[in-house]
Amino acid sequence: MNKSIRDQTFEDRGYYDLHEHIERLRNSGLLFTVDRQINKDTEMHPLVRWQYRGGVEEEDRKAWLFRDVSDSKGRKYDIPVLVGGLAANRAVYQLGMGCELNAIKETWIKALNNPVPPNEVGFDEAPCHDLVYTDEQLLNGFGVDQIPVPISSPGWDNAPYFAASHFITKDPHTGIQNMGNYRAMVKAPNRVGFNPSIELRTGGYMHWEEWRRLEKAMPCCIVVGAPPIVSFTAVQKVPEKYDEFEISGGLCGKPLNVVKAKTVDLLVPAEAEIVIEGYISTELLEPEAPFGESHGHVNLQEYNGYMDVTAVTRRKNAVMVSWISQVTPSESSAIKRPAYEAAQIEHLRDHLGIKGIKHVSTHEPLTSLHKLIVAVVERDIPRTEIWRALYGIASLRRAEGKWVIAVNEDIDPDDTDAVFWAMSYRCKPHRDVEILKNKDEGHGPRSLQDSNDSAVLIDATLKETFPPVSLPKREYMEKAAVIWEELGLQKLRPKRPWYGYDMGEWNQDLEVMARRAVEGDFWKTGEVIAQRRRSDVSMNTEVRTLDEGTPGAGELEKETGELKWDGLKDASHSLQERPKE
């Protein structure tokens, strides 16, 4: 390849970089640009969240580009933030994939079966190395603190979190890299969190275990902003024998451009916007979260990994990418859904040889793709094949398929909603009516009564207290609604739930951390939790199980008081019709 990658076009590469993608969004009328100043800690995500909780139809959702970003301390950032830019709706996703909507599933199936190795380029060729900051620079304004990371669920999250953060790690024995998308808490200018979703057996977690056995820190790079095909691949679950960069190449049929990182022995996308390099401790863990999660509740505080940052590199004109995640539907679930469904179809059709499978639908609203899966089959398919399909869906991944239903083609598999939210997260089938035992509890609020799970339910009522609903608190959503109206956007039609409320597991000390976060004082929380490091706990150990209290205990002001269960009383009222308080 003779042409410099800086001069390459889509025709040369076979894929769009993020800047080309943004321009295509703008030209297609799918980009909303906000030029007024927006506070990333209190306003940005609540504002975009109204696309998903305000009655806006899916086809009317857009990508948002914030060009004047500030924080609660009054700091202004020189990096714009793109939210909803990869999957605000199917049209946005289609632009990033570079293929027609009706070809997306087959494109994924082809990529999974035809990986293309990446193309390594030199340091000087890679746009992601335009600006490089290391050593003392990281503590003098050019560390993680130069990046305008939003707070996803103001009022609950204890700090800003990278949501579209692609963690790149490597198996120390085979040298095969893995790329997975995990949340990353901002803890210090040179320290971020590492939560690799151990219930899903992610590659990053398995690599961490291998490095831990070697008693060595794990080298890691976090990519924030990249060509869309890289981000789409980061959320897909592929066999460990593949480097996700090979699947990215498979999506477009050409090699992905990659380059060696500056301070760790890893390859990163050459056209990445921002790369955070460093080492993840395999000796110590420290508290992380609360953070609003995609299963519809706040993930309470637990012990997880942390990365000491050795470098931050970025493009000169970098764009920070943040995903709207938490309560589904969201950008995060929209990014994952086509690939998840394609993987199920490929598993049933190509590996199990089942005939008559028309479609597999992973239910999205509130249940987050994993729990309710509907198979659409031909009418005359033998019943034995229907049951093979149902068991096949439930067995592909250990935590998927709590509700697996086969329907014929006259049934719309997407015609469900809140009832299945309750079925997925408020019932343990082995306890309430046992059908299939010994399934992994998977991605959801963790029960302290019973960590095992099963396949079907009868009683879907709450059996124990739950973490808060992971939407921004009411005050932030109401303020964002005012801004929404000032911007002249369409009339909001709030849908339950449209703000977060406590369901019994929120305490005053967690409230202190959340208040610090929206006031821009989350560094204090980072300092406090660093003092509580310990080596005698396992990854994902929740702080509440250790009876040691919460960092920051006793610091709550007397006037701080949340609605607790009051949120359940008025959640059904619209923004205009709620009762007086």
- Residue 328: its pLDDT value, please? 60
With 0-12 / 13-18 / 19 or more C-beta atoms within 10 angstroms meaning exposed / middle / buried, residue 572 is exposed
**Please, which pLDDT band fits residue 23 given cuts at 50, 70 and 90?**
very high
pLDDT at 27 over 60: yes
Most confidently predicted of 85-99, 176-190, 498-512 = 176-190
| Cβ burial 122-157 (10 Å sphere, 16+ → b, else e) | eeeebbbbeebbbeebbeeebbbbbbbbbbbbbbbb
pLDDT above 70 as % of the chain:
80
pLDDT at 549 over 70: no
Question: 537: helix, coil or strand?
Answer: coil
**Please, which pLDDT band fits residue 299 given cuts at 50, 70 and 90?**
confident
C-beta atoms surrounding 443 within 10 Å? 19
Q: 449 and 299 in contact (C-beta within 8 Å)?
A: no
- Residue 573: its pLDDT value, please? 37
Higher per-residue pLDDT: 84 or 573: 84
Most confidently predicted of 178-182, 454-458, 463-467 = 178-182
pLDDT at 77 over 90: yes
> Phi, psi (5° rounding) for residue 208?
-60, -40
Residue with tokens 């920070």, as numbered in its chain: 320
pLDDT at 39 over 90: yes
According to DSSP, the residues that pair with 258 across neighbouring strands are 120, 269
Residues 6 or more apart whose CB falls under 8 angstroms from that of 87 comprise 93, 96, 331, 332, 334, 335
Task: Give mean pLDDT, residues 523-530.
Answer: 94
DSSP labels for 328-364?
SSSHHHHHHHHHHHHHHHHIIIIIS----EEEEEE--
Kind of pairing between the strands at 439-440 and 452-453? antiparallel
What radius of gyration do the chain's Cα atoms show?
Answer: 23
Q: 120 and 267 in contact (C-beta within 8 Å)?
A: yes
pLDDT at 439 over 70: no
CATH architecture of 331-453: 3-Layer(aba) Sandwich (3.40)
**Please, which pLDDT band fits residue 446 given cuts at 50, 70 and 90?**
low
Q: 307 and 220 in contact (C-beta within 8 Å)?
A: yes
pLDDT at 174 over 60: yes
pLDDT at 57 over 70: yes
Higher per-residue pLDDT: 106 or 259: 259
Residues 6 or more apart whose CB falls under 8 angstroms from that of 1 comprise 12, 119
Kindly report the pTM of this predicted structure: 0.71
CATH architecture of 5-322: Roll (2.30)
Q: 325 and 290 in contact (C-beta within 8 Å)?
A: no
C-beta atoms surrounding 112 within 10 Å? 21
pLDDT tens digit sequence for 104-122: 778 888 888 899 999 999 9
- Residue 238: its pLDDT value, please? 76
According to DSSP, the residues that pair with 286 across neighbouring strands are 304
Question: Mean pLDDT of all residues in the chain?
Answer: 83
Q: 575 and 475 in contact (C-beta within 8 Å)?
A: no
With 0-12 / 13-18 / 19 or more C-beta atoms within 10 angstroms meaning exposed / middle / buried, residue 380 is exposed
Domain spans, the chain:
5-322, 331-453
C-beta atoms surrounding 450 within 10 Å? 12
- Residue 332: its pLDDT value, please? 60
Most confidently predicted of 137-151, 419-433, 495-509, 563-577 = 137-151
- Residue 310: its pLDDT value, please? 98
C-beta atoms surrounding 541 within 10 Å? 16
* Distance from C-alpha of 89 to C-alpha of 59, rounded to nearest angstrom: 6
Distinct helix (H) and strand (E) counts, the chain: 16, 26
